[in-house]
Structure 1
Amino acid sequence: MKKIIIAVLLFVVAFITYVIFSVVIVYKRQPKISAEYISSFDPDDFFSDQVSCDRACVIEDNMQALIERLRMIERASERIILSTFDFRADNSGKKVLAALYNAANKGVEVKILIDGYCEMIHMKNNPYFMALSTLDNVEIKIYNPINILKPWKSMGRLHDKYLIIDNELYLLGGRNTNDNFLGENGHKNYDRDVLVYNTRPDTRDSSIYELYNYFDKIWNMKECRYFHDKASKGKKKKVFKAVEELKNIYLETMQKYPFLTEEFDYTAVTYKVNKISFLTNPVHIKAKEPTLFYSLISLMKKAKEEVKIHTPYIICNEMMYEALKEVCKGKANVTLMTNSPANNDNPFGASDYMLHKGKILDTGINIYEYEGGISYHGKSITIDHNISIIGSFNMDLRSVYLSTEIMLVADSTDLNKQLKNYMNYYEEASVRVIDLERVEMPEGLKRQEFTDKKEILVKIIKLFNRFRYLM
């Protein structure tokens, strides 16, 4: 018996070593930007003197973000596309599932793309997702499902978040589909979406078609597999109960928010846009060429007056530090707001910032630390008075090299003004970093403090900072 226990322990240790070694080796190499991409990228392509058929606005409030998703799904008549990193069957998630189930029952084609990590943690054998997936006109695919026997594939994750309705509307940003980001329940995070309305759906002029093409590119990858799509799953008792619950949730939601079924004037709530473009990473599951980061830096270097960067966390390598230095050498005043370590709900981001804060300051960037008490997840950049950039990309090594990411770039003075107003609101609850020891505190603002548990966790993570390229 003793020999069996020893053999089992040795196997477990060997397997864990195999997993760690595979991940560390495969993703340690960080590709450089290619000459081909540099020659193909022109910042001037993101500007236009003509007004486009697209209009846009920022969706800032979590409750508004849930309402808008439900309204859009209710409006759909032909097809719905949803791509997200994390989808949960919690309070808000069930409302979205119920709306999608109702739309599919009305004949709307529904396609949902979800990351494999979320499937493993929140979706496997979940009756609510199985209830939706068994409908004839619903397809759910999983990007890069977790396979512990192939750990070298594990770090390539789907981090995009967007919802597309027919050829008319889409919502894109940093919010996952769960209570952390939607509605008024659960552990709250502040994040942001941009809503785009195509005023000429009968033409092919809108940016919505570029987003469709991007979705199809990932959807058709061999690394994406179907989630339970057999009709027989719908006959299980727990799935049948989930269907009835979703139907009741839909009816209750419509009774509580009857305006969701009414006609809505999107022109009245959106702004004129000259041009909308997208910046993305490569979509394969290996370590990626940093095309999106290079593109953002190139656009920021064009600034003449001001660059404002908001990111939940900032984890850089030497390439990124040097790129930020180049931006700061220009004419524009460059500021960056991120969570203070104690306000950050990501212990990896908090620990790395504490260790490398000096290097960030050395780039010449003006740093603000958000102290609002609720973790800030907004991922946005404004450049001068007209360029607004919103999406899923964090200023960290994972977003630069490991995950799929998408950022919307809009040339619009009105949208830029709206976004800056929201960004300024958060900056009012932040401290300006003077140096490693000193900050400038607004009157009445209190600095957040670590809980004992979080402080211990951050200290432990610091010991493994050499593996920061996986964070």
Structure 2
Amino acid sequence: MAGTQLTLLESGVERLDTILRLIGQSKRSIRLLFYMFNSDEAGTRIRDALVEAAGRGVEVRVLLDGFGSGDIAPDFFSGLEQAGGDHCIFHPRYGRRYLMRNHQKLAVFDDQLALIGGANLHESYLSDEGETCWRDLWLLLEGEAVPPAAAYFDDLYHWTITKGSKVKQLRRLVCDHSQAEGALQWKFTSPLSRRNPWVYAIVSDVNEACRLDVIAAYFSPSGSMLRRMRRVMQRGQVRVITASKSDNRATIAAARSTYRRLLRRGVEMYEYLPARLHTKLIVVDDVVHLGSANFDFRSFYINLEIMLRIEDAGFAKQMRGYFEREKADSQQITPQLHRERSTLWRRIKWTVSHWLVTSMDYTVTRRLNFRVD
């Protein structure tokens, strides 16, 4: 694309090699924003590279979610702080707002290069061997699209470390940094807001679409989004790849509760077989949405998420090629197969799971976990 070079990173090894290389070559600043940073072998290698960078004078700041990264030992980043770097936590695991999570994944280097996608800083996302590995994506950006992401990080970091920060301020921050013009737009979701920038963008795109391809590790959209998908099918084609393996069986059950409504309208449904699926990719006509958000209620309305909206026919074609490769490793869920699976007990389990990860999750987070201040 004009002004910005895009490189897709499909393998875990490639992702680990890339982030270590970018940390090693940074000269001025490194900003890391991740849901999960683990103290395993991959996480320790990244931490040590950050310490080395801070030691040579690079400004290093790390912003992590308190729930996703809650298992890190308190002294894990002590070497980074001693070297002049800094890190902070978005909402501690046990706090008033613990169900509102910062699910974003972003790394910015020298305001010139950035990584965005679904993969966390964890061995299972940064390797390709073993049953516990996740299938995921990162996108490497180089060029003029990067500075706005750095500015967003800076404001979010400031909000996080400021005592008494309000959720209303966070919502305003998200809206202020979401872009409405250009072929490449940064989009964010605002916590506990039914109309936030990325949701508005994806709804608008789907409303006009004739072709929709979705790869969603966690697939439990609202009834209104399911109706929009069925209307796209009336105009053209809809294909969805979801997970057959996960760390949360309820999310698979919730996804399967939606299959019947989509299959009846001709939507092609697939389940990815080789590994646990964690990819978040939507291709709507000539528009690509890629980032941290799942195609589910929590990403749409509860979590803090970061997405990149790219309107480019060539890139959309490239990502549809990626979809085709993933489809080749997936099992098609035909209407007959779904009927054979749909025993009474399974239908009950699917329905209850969908309710838990949609209505129940939103209600508990909004009303019981914290008051919006």
TM-score between the two structures when normalised by the length of structure 1: 0.65
Aligned with residue 335 of structure 1, among 218, 221, 239: 239
Aligned amino acid, residue 139 of structure 2: V
DSSP 3-state at the match of 1:467: helix
Q: Secondary structure at the match of 2:276?
A: coil
Q: 1:168 aligns with which of 97, 100, 112?
A: 112
Superposition deviation, residue 362 in structure 1: 4.8
What is the distance in 2 between the residues matched to 1:79 and 1:209?
12
1:277 aligns with 2:185: yes
Q: 1:461 to 1:309 in 2, by over 3 A?
A: closer
Whole-Å Cα distance in 2 between the matches of residues 124 and 461 of structure 1?
Answer: 37
Q: Distance in 2 between matches of 1:438 and 1:354?
A: 9
Cα distance change on mapping 1:159 and 1:417 into 2, 3 Å:
same
The 8 Å contact of residues 230 and 262 in structure 2, kept in 1 or not, is answered as: no
The superposition leaves residues 270-315 of structure 1 with CA deviations (integer Å, 9 ceiling, x where unpaired) of xxxx832122111x5x4553542331132233334x3211111211
More strand as a share of residues: 2
Selected match of 2:37 from 75, 81, 87: 87
Residue 178 of structure 1: SS of its match in structure 2?
coil
Report the count of equivalent residues. 338
Is 1:391 paired with 2:291? yes
Residue 83 of structure 2 aligns with which residue? 135
Structure 1 pair 465–173 and aligned structure 2 pair: CA distance change class (3 A): closer
Unaligned runs of 5+ in 2: 164-181, 363-373
Match of 2:133 in 1: 188
Q: State yes or no: 1:62 paired with 2:62.
A: no
Give the secondary structure class of the aligned counterpart of 1:321. Answer: helix
Residue 97 in structure 1 maps to residue 47 in structure 2: yes
* Candidates 415, 422, 444, aligned match of 2:315: 415
- In the alignment, which residue of structure 1 is the partner of 2:169? none
The answer to whether the 8 Å contact 1:389/1:409 transfers is yes
CA distance in 2, matches of 1:357, 1:218: 38
The aligned amino acid for 1:105 is G
SS in structure 2 of the partner of residue 110 of structure 1: strand
Farther-moved stretch of structure 1 (82-91 vs 210-219): 210-219
Letter of the 1:221 counterpart: W
Q: Which has the larger radius of gyration?
A: 1
Alignment of 1:369-380 (within 5 A): 369-372=271-274, 374-380=275-281
Q: Distance in 1 between matches of 2:67 and 2:73?
A: 10
SS at match of 1:144: strand
Task: Verify the 8 A CA contact 1:347 1:461 in the aligned structure 2.
Answer: no
| Offset of residue 391 of structure 1 | 0.7
Gapped runs of 5+ residues in structure 1?
Answer: 1-50, 199-205, 226-273, 440-446, 448-455
1:365–1:78: structure 2 CA closer, same or farther, 3 Å change rule? same
Structure 1 residues 31-60: Cα deviation after superposition (integer angstroms, max 9, x where no partner): xxxxxxxxxxxxxxxxxxxx5211112110
Contact 1:142 1:224 in 2 (8 A): no
Deviation of 1:214 after TM superposition, in Å, equals: 2.0
- Measured in 2, the distance between the counterparts of 1:465 and 1:394 equals 15
Instruction: Give the Cα separation in 2 of the matches to 1:287 and 1:300.
Output: 20
CA contact (8 A) 2:65 2:89 kept: yes
TM alignment of 1:109-128, pairs within 5 A: 109-120=59-70, 122-125=71-74, 127-128=75-76
SS in 1 for 2:92: coil
SS of the residue 2:134 aligns to = coil
Aligned CA RMSD, in angstroms, stands at 2.9
Query: Would the alpha carbon gap of residues 462 and 301 (structure 1) be closer, same or farther in structure 2, given more than 3 Å must change?
Result: closer
Residue correspondence of structure 1 range 44-443 to structure 2 within 5 A: 52-120=2-70, 122-125=71-74, 127-136=75-84, 138-148=85-95, 150=96, 153-184=97-128, 187-198=132-143, 206-222=144-160, 275-282=183-190, 284=191, 286=192, 289-304=195-210, 306-330=211-235, 332-340=236-244, 343-362=245-264, 364-372=266-274, 374-384=275-285, 386-435=286-335, 437-438=337-338
C-alpha change, 1:416 and 1:355, in structure 2 (3 Å) is closer
Q: 1:145 to 1:91 in 2, by over 3 A?
A: same
**C-alpha distance in structure 1 between counterparts of 2:60 and 2:239, whole Å:** 41
Residue 155 of structure 1 aligns to which amino acid in structure 2?
L
Q: 1:357-395 CA distances to partner (integer Å, 9 max, x unpaired)? A: 3234356532122222x11111112233x4322111111
Give the counterpart letter for 1:173 in structure 2: G
Give the CA deviation at 1:191.
0.1
Partner of 2:175: none
1:108 CA drift (Å): 0.2
Structure 2 CA distance, aligned partners of 1:363 and 1:116?
Answer: 41
- Name the SS for the 2:20 alignment partner: helix
Shift, 1:417, TM fit: 3.3
Q: Which runs of 4+ in 1 moved over 6 A?
A: 458-462
Give the Cα separation in 1 of the matches to 2:232 and 2:203.
7
Greater displacement, 60-69 / 418-427: 418-427
What CA deviation, in whole Å up to 9, does each residue of 1:85-144 have, x standing for no partner?
A: 000111111111111111110100011110010342x2242x3322223332x1211111
Matched residues in 2 for 1:224 and 1:364: separation?
Answer: 50
Distance 1:297 1:91 in 2: 40
| Contact 2:29/2:58, CA 8 A, preserved across alignment | yes
Identity across matched positions, percent: 23
C-alpha contact (below 8 Å) 1:351/1:459 kept by paired residues: no
Contact 1:357 1:436 (C-alpha < 8 Å) held by counterparts: no
Q: Distance in 2 between matches of 1:189 and 1:112?
A: 23
Q: 1:83 to 1:185 in 2, by over 3 A?
A: farther
Distance 1:465 1:223 in 2: 35
Residue matched to 1:11: none
- Could you say which residue in structure 2 is the equivalent of 1:250? none
Q: For the structure 1 residues 80 and 408, does the alpha-carbon distance in structure 2 shift closer, same or farther, using more than 3 Å as the test?
A: same
Q: Secondary structure at the match of 1:65?
A: helix
